[in-house]
Structure 1
C-alpha cells in the first residue's frame, strides 16, 4: 500500500535542497537517507533521499541527482509516497494510518450514529476526520483526544464526544 509521507515545498539554497511538509509521524524512518520514494506526479520520481537536516524548525532534504536550485524548484508541490505493508501499524498505539480509519463508523457516547469516515484532512494545526453523515452531507471532526477518545479499528468504530454545536447541520444541509 502506498502512503503520502511528505510534500515538497520550495527550494532552499543553491545546492538542491528542498523544504518538505512532513505528513508522517515517522519521518526518521520514511525520509531517512537511502529511502527510495515514489512521487505524484509519477514522472518526477522515484526519488532517493541523499541527506536530510532540520533548519529553523523545517526539514530539508536533498535527493540524489538533484544538485542545483533549478532542479529542486522543479520538484515543488510533488508528493512523496512510501510503500507500506497494509498490516503495519505506527509504533505509537494511539496513532493510525489514514487507510486504517477510512470506512470506520463514527458514533457518539450515547450511541448516536453520525456516519462513516471518508478521509482525513491534514491541516497545519491538526487533522480532521471527514465524515459522511448517515443522513447525507458531511461533517469535519477535529482528530484530538478530547473529541475522539476512542478508536477501535478491529471493531470498526470511532467513538466521539463532540462539543455543543459540532454536529449541528450547516446551511444547506438537512
Structure 2
C-alpha cells in the first residue's frame, strides 16, 4: 500500500438552516463513498479534520453536516473552503474508464503517432464534459475528455493519446497532414 494523498472531494457552499448543515459543490463522483457518516475530511489549507455526521440530497443540492460544525455561524466560517479526503495513492475509481484528477495531471499528451504534444496541467469539470488543460509550448489548450478525442490513457507509461483533430491542440495540425 502506498502513501495516502489528499483528493479534493467538494467545496463548501452556503449554510443551510441553523444547525450547521451546509451546501457543497461536489468534486467527486462517489459521494456515497466519501461522505459516509464517520468519514474524516480535511478542510482547505488549515488542515483541520472534520468528521462527517450526515449528508443528503435536497432540491438539487447536496447538504453536508459535520460533527464539529454545530451551528450556522460555524458553517459560515468555513464557507468557500475545499474539502479533501485522504486516499491511498494507488486507489482507482470503481469504473475502469474513470480517473481521478490527480492521476491525469502531469501525464504527457501524445498524438496518434506517439509524438509529444504537451503535458496535462489540470482537469476542468464542466456540465457537459470534463476538459483537459494541456500545456503546449507555453499555451494552454483545452481538450474535451471524451473517448473520441482521448482514446487512450496509459497511467503506467505516464501518457495519454489525443486524436489528430485539426486545431484541437496544434494550430498547424491541418497543414501538417
Instruction: Please give the TM-score of this superposition, normalised by the length of structure 2.
Output: 0.85
Q: Which moved more, 1:74-83 or 1:62-71?
A: 62-71
Partner of 1:56: 59
Partner of 1:172: none
Q: Which moved more, 1:99-108 or 1:80-89?
A: 99-108
Partner of 2:13: 9
The alignment partner of 1:109 has SS state of coil
Post-superposition offset of 1:86: 0.6
The alignment partner of 1:29 has SS state of helix
1:102 aligns with 2:105: yes
Post-superposition offset of 1:67: 2.3
Partner of 1:144: 146
Partner of 2:40: 36
Note the alpha carbon deviations across 1:107-133, whole angstroms, 9 max, x for none.
222444211112222344432211111
Note the alpha carbon deviations across 1:152-172, whole angstroms, 9 max, x for none.
111222112254432244xxx
Note the alpha carbon deviations across 1:39-82, whole angstroms, 9 max, x for none.
11316x31111011100122101111322222212211111111
The alignment partner of 2:88 has SS state of coil
Note the alpha carbon deviations across 1:88-123, whole angstroms, 9 max, x for none.
111111111122212211122244421111222234
Gaps of 5+ in 1: 170-174
Gaps of 5+ in 2: 172-177
1:73 to 64, 76, 79: 76
Q: How many residues align?
A: 167
CA RMSD after TM alignment: 1.8
Q: Which moved more, 1:16-25 or 1:118-127?
A: 118-127
Cα distance in 1 for residues equivalent to 2:116 and 2:68:
51
Alpha-carbon distance change, 136 to 41 in structure 1, aligned in 2, over 3 angstroms: closer
The alignment partner of 1:84 has SS state of strand
